[in-house]
Structures are given as C-alpha cells and as structure tokens.
Amino acid sequence: MDSQTTTGAPPGAFLVADLLAPAERDQLVARLDALEGWGGATFRGQVTRRSMIWFGTAYSIATRRVDPAPPIPGWLRAVRDRAVAAARARAGIAAHDDDDCAFLGSPDEFVSSTIIRYPVGAGIGWHSDAPVYGPTVLTVSLGAPAWLDLRHKADPARRARFLLNAGALFILTGEARRDWAHRVPPVRGPRYALTFRTRR
Ligand SMILES: O=C(O)CCC(=O)C(=O)O
C-alpha cells in the first residue's frame, strides 16, 4: 500500500505520515508487545478480536460512563505531546484556508488515552467517537499498515480513505469528527493504535 489519501478528504481529517522515526517505532512496539493488562473490547454488544488498554479515563460503550483509569505513563505522554505539537502545526496551517479546524487544546488536556491491539484479521466497524470526548482526536499508528475509511453520516456515498502506516499520526477534528463516521477494515498484520482524546 503506498498511496496516502483518496480525493475528497473531509475538512478536519489530516495525516502526518512520519510523526515517529523507525527507531522510535521499534522501541514503542517492543514496549507495547510487553505491556500487560489488555482487556477485551466489545462493540455493539459483540466481543471483538481487538484488545484494549485505557489510561486517564475509560469509557464504557454499554453504560456511556467515563470512569477513572490508571494515569497515562510517561512514555505514552511523550508520544501524546509529540502528536499534539504535530497536530497544531498540521491543522493550524489548514486553518488558514479552512474555517473548520476545531479547537485542539494543550497536551495536558488530552487526558484520555486508549491503546488498541489489532491481531491479523481484526478491524473496527463504522462509528464516531463518543460525544463525551472533545472535538479533536489524535491517533498514532504502529505495526502493520491499515486503511482508515471515512463516510459522511448524512450522505454515505461521500467517502474518503487514508493509509495509516507505522509512525503516522491521524488527526480527526472539525467536520470530519462531527459529521463523518470512520472504520478500520481488517488488518493484514498485527497493529497498534494509540489514541488521545480531550473531554468535553
Ligand atoms: O485504529 C485506528 O486507527 C482507529 C481507532 C478508532 O477508530 C477508535 O479508537 O475509535
């Protein structure tokens, strides 16, 4: 897979292809491979093949409650801080020609982090991130490449697709966060997604 986006990407969807250098990626994958405490992920009542770890806060789809989770560890805060700085630079540039770039916030406002582990053949179905979370969602990809599909909620024929290679940062804000759903089709190799969110 070598292309990065399709045409017609919605305002508020941005890719930073090279947030992490290869050596940093390898170090992080080794850390993630050794991480303990993975929990099963359910989606629309079904147990999925993904597993997850929550830091800062944990959101239950079933109860719609946000509960405290263990603090975001230092190594993950370092990734978050890089992601926020890169998002500010990337989305800030777009804001000049596109009014739909939403508030980003400071790194410390990204109080919630989830790590999703996708084994081969796992993905995540169409969804939007929960409304309890803020207007900007940042995800760093590691491991195997994956597609991220976007579909307009009111006009599902409108689609866009981004390639998430290892070390890439995906920024979802503005219209893309509000009016579009997203999914990750089944992956062909083990993958991690490190996501950082603010609270409303
Ligand atoms: O795996 C990804 O890149 C996206 C994850 C996602 O959509 C989510 O955590 O809600």
Domains of the chain: 13-199 (2.60.120.590)
Residue reference for tokens 């770890």? 53
Sheet of 146-152: strand order equals 124-127, 180-184, 146-152, 159-164
Report the atom number in ligand 1 closest to the C-alpha of 141: 3
For range 146-165, the mean pLDDT: 96
Instruction: Report pLDDT digits (tens) over 114-139.
Output: 999 999 999 999 999 998 898 899 99
Q: Evaluate whether 63 touches 72 at the Cβ level (below 8 Å).
A: no
What pLDDT shows up at residue 102?
A: 57
Q: For the chain, where are the E strands, in sequence order? A: 13-16, 39-43, 46-55, 57-59, 66-68, 112-118, 124-127, 133-143, 146-152, 159-164, 169-172, 180-184, 191-199
Residue 96: pLDDT band by 50, 70, 90 thresholds? very low
How many beta carbons lie within 10 A of that of residue 65, not counting itself?
A: 11
Average pLDDT, the chain: 88
What pLDDT shows up at residue 100?
A: 52
Nearest to 164 by CA among 134, 179, 185: 185
Phi, psi of 44 (to 5 degrees): 50, 45
Give yes or no for residue 45 having a pLDDT over 80: no
CB of 116 shorter than 6 A to ligand 1: yes
Please tell me the distance between residue 61's alpha carbon and the centre of ligand 1 in angstroms.
14
DSSP codes of every residue in 154-169: S-TT-EEEEEE-TT-E
Report the atom number in ligand 1 closest to the C-alpha of 148: 3
Distance in angstroms (rounded) separating the CA atoms of residues 112 and 70:
10
Which residue is closest in CA terms to ligand 1's atom 7?
A: 183
CB of 139 shorter than 6 A to ligand 1: yes
- Of 143 and 61, the structure prediction assigns the larger pLDDT to 143
Distance in angstroms (rounded) separating the CA atoms of residues 5 and 111:
29
Please tell me the distance between residue 159's alpha carbon and the centre of ligand 1 in angstroms.
17
Nearest to 21 by CA among 192, 189, 194, 166: 166
What pLDDT shows up at residue 105?
A: 76
Residue 2: pLDDT band by 50, 70, 90 thresholds? very low
Residue 188: pLDDT band by 50, 70, 90 thresholds? very high
